[in-house]
Amino acid sequence: MCLPLRAAAPCILAPARMWGACHTALSRLANERNGLAPKTHELTGQDTSASNTLTSVSVTCSRADTAVVSEAGITHSERIVRLLRTPRLLRHVHQGRLGQAFAALYRANGPQLLLQPPFSSTPLVVLMGVDANIWAAEQGHRHLRPISRLQHEGERRTLLNEALAPVRARRSLADRLDKLQATTCEVMSDWQLGDVLNLTETCQRLAERQLCTLGLGIESLSCMSEFIAVQRRELLTTGLGLLPQTMQRSPLIARKRARIDRALRDDVFSDKKDSPDWRTALLQANADYPHTLPLIDLPPQLEEVLIAVKRLGDQLALCLCTLASHPYLHEQVKQEADAMFSSNALTADAFASEQVDIARRLYLETLRIFPPSPFVLREVMNPLSAAGCDLPIGSRVLLAQCTPHYLEEVFKDPASFDIERFAPARAEHLRPGAFAPFGLGSHACPASDQSELHLLANLLAFVHYFNFKITPSSYELRLNMLPTSAPHKHLRMVITRKRNSLPS
């Protein structure tokens, strides 16, 4: 049986500032509906709105534009337009919560969706749900490859993973927790009672100082702002097709990219007395495999550190927002932190034990509701004839792997913040395909275990040394989704009390 691939209007993923382009797209759909410019994909099969499993797909495109499917006398595009006008979906998009928006689309349309970006001739095939996640984890590496230039396939990827595996391992950070805490205290020593700090920027500066000191042998990088701007532009143009490709090739972006490469080359690969982890690992890989991993290609690999800085800082900021909005959890995490620091039990084993159970489950629930990236973009490298999909080489796939995070059949009452869902008695996240904040399969984040240890160490240090509040208190949390989930830049943190003295 061939079943249809659901089609959606080209403005689902548009950020708030692009609603003008969205209205233009909606007007175009209205014209097509009235017969002024009929352009359709021919999609064969039956309706799958009630299906919760991946089904066979056969797509024949007569013209590359928004798909239209007849359904009870109403075109599918028209039905999606009405869905876009529903307050709940618009609220998710406006708040930057794309995971919840994908979940709403999943409930309305099933696990398969076709998005036609306004500035791309290639449609995005969206896969959502538990079954899609299971397939991606088990078979995705056979058919899909990343679009990013930082991720490689074949021998080069294998060699890089082998070279960087010790650096990305949890043990790498566990052996240097004392140095991590010393760096944390150096940064926190500048915070004074009554200081009003930008929450996201403060957490990112802390993460940058820590990762640069431990992994690169420098105090900071001079290209973080440029890197964030380039990553956001790359996602909006090459990745999602929400902006014209010419904006990716603009002189401004070229200058930012050159500044990033120059900073990584000069700051990290210049001669230094010490040899931090990342630099040592990459130089050793170059010495072992000079043809496969030439020295000229090594600086861009350090952009993985910049991504780690952004994600670690953003997740710490979101955890602090969660603590501020749940005082009872805040008090329990304080008790865990005070017990850890008073007994000098800052060891990797302690962070993996029941001593930090509340903090760990709070972190996992924060990841569930605010995953670093609610979707990943892939390109079909081999004909996709598994998991019920039939897609040719070169097709673009958007895997919304975090959609199950917001489904009632996977997580009980998914809209509520409930750390008990990660307790052993419930363990809702252990169901296959249910919990995927760091991606799936062979392209899942290889440093996720280290990131958990790093964030828990920062979170416990924060609540041990300081009391704080988030201002304005009535502010409704909104996210900046690109390149990763982060609290809005207007959110502030006020230091209200120094609970304990920082070690000198």
Domain membership flag for residue 140 = no
Q: CA-CA distance, 323 to 304, in Å (whole number)?
A: 28
pLDDT score, position 294: 84
Retrieve residue 273's tokens: 């007395």
Helices (H), 95-153: 98-109, 130-143
- Judge whether 43 and 51 are in contact, CB under 8 Å: no
Neighbours of 423 (CB within 10 A): 12
Domain membership flag for residue 448 = yes
* 337 and 442 housed in the same domain: yes
* 74 and 183 housed in the same domain: no
Q: CA-CA distance, 498 to 188, in Å (whole number)?
A: 11
Question: Helix 76-84 and helix 98-109: axis angle, to 10°?
Answer: 140
Strands 479-480 vs 59-61: parallel, antiparallel or unpaired:
unpaired
* 272 and 192 housed in the same domain: yes
Question: Which of 80, 113, 128 is the C-terminal boundary of a domain?
Answer: 128
* 119 and 162 housed in the same domain: no
- Judge whether 449 and 170 are in contact, CB under 8 Å: yes
* 488 and 402 housed in the same domain: yes
pLDDT score, position 306: 84
Enclosing H/E stretch for 145 = strand 144-146
Q: Which domain holds residue 56?
A: 7-128
Report, in this order, helix, strand and coil percent for the chain, each rounded to 5. Answer: 50, 10, 35
Beta carbons within 8 Å of 399's beta carbon, 6+ residues apart: 126, 127, 132, 133, 136, 140, 144, 375, 376, 377, 378, 440
Question: Which of 77, 94, 128 is the C-terminal boundary of a domain?
Answer: 128
pLDDT score, position 315: 93
The angle formed by the CA atoms of residues 476, 477 and 483, to the nearest 5 degrees, is 150
Domain membership flag for residue 144 = no
Q: CA-CA distance, 388 to 59, in Å (whole number)?
A: 12
* 273 and 372 housed in the same domain: yes
pLDDT score, position 26: 38
Domain membership flag for residue 159 = yes
Domain membership flag for residue 314 = yes
DSSP letter (8 states) at residue 175: T
Domain membership flag for residue 147 = no
Structure pTM?
A: 0.81
- Amino acid symbol at 256: K
Question: Which of 66, 94, 128 is the C-terminal boundary of a domain?
Answer: 128
* 348 and 445 housed in the same domain: yes
* 276 and 385 housed in the same domain: yes
Retrieve residue 118's tokens: 């306004």
CATH number, residue 300: 1.10.630.10
Q: CA-CA distance, 26 to 329, in Å (whole number)?
A: 44
Task: Look at the alpha carbons of 162, 167, 168, 174 in this order and tell me if their dihedral is positive or negative.
Answer: positive
DSSP letter (8 states) at residue 135: H
* 158 and 120 housed in the same domain: no
Over its length of 504 residues, how does the chain's per-residue pLDDT go in tens digits?
333 444 444 444 433 333 344 434 434 444 444 443 333 233 223 333 333 333 333 333 333 333 333 233 333 444 444 555 566 666 777 777 888 888 988 888 888 887 778 787 777 888 999 999 998 998 888 888 887 655 555 677 788 888 888 888 888 888 888 899 999 999 999 999 999 999 999 999 999 999 888 888 788 888 888 888 888 888 888 877 778 888 888 899 889 988 888 888 777 776 554 556 787 888 888 888 888 888 777 777 778 888 888 899 999 999 999 998 899 999 999 999 998 888 766 777 778 778 899 999 999 999 999 998 888 888 888 887 644 567 888 888 889 999 999 999 999 999 999 999 999 999 999 999 999 999 888 778 888 899 999 999 999 999 999 999 988 777 677 787 777 788 887 888 999 999 999 887
- Judge whether 277 and 215 are in contact, CB under 8 Å: yes
Distance from first CA to last CA of the chain, Å, rounded?
A: 70
Domain membership flag for residue 146 = no
User: Number of structural domains, the chain?
Assistant: 2
* 298 and 339 housed in the same domain: yes
Within its chain, how far is the Cα of 435 from the centroid? 13
Domain membership flag for residue 195 = yes
pLDDT score, position 209: 92
* 169 and 103 housed in the same domain: no
For residue 46, count CB atoms less than 10 angstroms from its CB and return exposed for 0-12, middle for 13-18, buried for 19 or more. Answer: exposed
* 91 and 166 housed in the same domain: no
Q: Cite the beta strand spans of 207-346 per DSSP E.
A: none
